[in-house]
Amino acid sequence: MPADLNPAQRVLVWDVAALLRALSDTLASRYGSLAVRGELSGLSRAASGHVYFNLRAPDGSAALRCAMFRRAASLLDFSPRDGMQVELRGRLALYEPRGELQLIVEAMTCAGDGELLARFMRLKAKLEGEGLFDAARKRPVTAWPRRIGLVTSLQAAVLRDVASTLARRAPHVELIVYPASVQGAEAPAQLVRAMAQAAARAEVDTLLVCRGGGSLEDLWAFNDEAVVRAIAASPVPVISGVGHETDITLADFAADLRAPTPTAAAEFAAAPRDASLDQLGVLARALSQRCHARLDRAAQTLDLASLRLARPGAVVQRRHEDLALLGQRLRSVLHNRLAGEPARVDRLDERLDAGLRLSLRGQDQTLALLAARLEALGPRQVLSRGYAWLGDAQGRALSHVTQVAAGEKFTATLADGQLLATVDEVHTRTAEGSGSTR
């Protein structure tokens, strides 16, 4: 220090830690325990059980950082949420590692809804009265989409989370991003513009509207009336994935499906590829089994029809026997019923005999006609008209000249016997009608 400096002008130089401790002691001695009222904002619960939030003025002009430790938080008889009007009791302190003023909350009581929460409830009642949140107007989400649209900020971690989730679960699905700000004064207009672009391009099957967690003020763009109406009017089914599981926005009510987180929205939008492949495998096996069963039944039917066709004479004989048996049974029944009326029985018997003879004569004629047709189609009838059946030395039928060569023996079956012959020459006939000799 310069020697000529007046001791009265000397400045006390504080150590940072000492200064903060002095300020903390001053706050504790001057204010002690106090009560303050305001709106909750940015509320979060740590894994340790501590609760951190801001207490803000209703007009947003001022905010105080607050901490409520686990012991005090466990005594709450209600669930605090952003926008709620509360009254706090506690003490002011400095958080020395960051030099931040904060209120250590020892007790919290509910003092009514805050202004933001009141606006939320008024707009919710209005839109609900118009039917925008009706379950009947919500559409099912496509189970197997080809393309999925995502409305979010390009700088948000949500984009990476959704893309990685889809790449893991459904890598065959294409993701198209419609960028928009998700926080701030310009966010509502950009969100509406992004959804309008997705509707105009008509290239996606499902549209995700996503944002990470935050306070009620941070998520307020998704409570904007224009954004909510745009979601309700979207021609593409919309999945809302805004904030954490405890965060609720009006966009959630208007969307066709609400997901608790952006990652869950991506999971809801597309079924896992492995599960789809397993289901396709089950369907393919069931289809194969049914096809084989149908083919087996058709083959059995074909075999039965083939057996019946191979023996037409037996079928005719069986029908003739059936007719004879039916005639016998009919005569027996008639004789038994008419035993008490001899004259009538005689007349009926004569008529019956005449009818049966006529019927049997007709059946005999039919049988003879069928037998003649069968005989005409038989091979012996064909042989009697001068044709012969040719076979090689092994007994196989000869139908082409290419099956024999000169010098080979063959048999010719005629109507009354067989001839053993030898091939002298083979003449072939080409498609143009000319021939050649081998």
In the prediction, which pLDDT does 431 show? 55
How many CB atoms neighbour CB 83 within 10 A? 23
- Ordered by start, the domain boundaries in the chain are 16-113, 139-271, 312-377, 384-437
In the prediction, which pLDDT does 1 show? 45
In the prediction, which pLDDT does 68 show? 94
Q: Which stretch of 2-6, 42-46, 91-95, 241-245 has the lowest confidence by average pLDDT?
A: 2-6
Residue with tokens 């049914």: 290
pLDDT at 203 over 90: yes
In the prediction, which pLDDT does 9 show? 59
Average pLDDT of span 75-90: 85
Q: How far is 46 from 130, CA to CA, in rounded Å?
A: 39
Dihedral over alpha carbons 148, 154, 156, 158 (to 10 degrees) = 10
Three-class SS state of 436 = strand
CATH dotted code for 16-113: 2.40.50.140
Report whether CATH 3.30.1370.60 matches the domain 139-271: no
DSSP 165-208: HHHHH-TTSEEEEEE---SSTTHHHHHHHHHHHHHHHT--SEEE
193 closest CA partner among 203, 204, 182: 182
Q: How far is 253 from 122, CA to CA, in rounded Å?
A: 14
In the prediction, which pLDDT does 371 show? 80
pLDDT at 341 over 70: no
Angle (CA) 12-17-20 rounded to 5° is 80
Confidence of residue 2 (pLDDT cuts 50, 70, 90): very low
Mean pLDDT, the chain, whole residue set: 84
> Do 139-271 and 16-113 have the same topology in CATH?
no
Q: Which segments of 255-341 does DSSP mark as H helices, in order?
A: 262-269, 273-310, 312-337
Task: For residue 357, give both structure tokens.
Answer: 């003879």
Percent of the chain surpassing pLDDT 70: 91
In the prediction, which pLDDT does 211 show? 92
Q: Is 370 in contact with 377 (CB distance < 8 Å)?
A: no
Percent of the chain surpassing pLDDT 90: 28
Each residue of 226-275: pLDDT tens digit?
Answer: 999 999 999 999 999 998 887 788 999 999 999 999 999 999 998 887 77
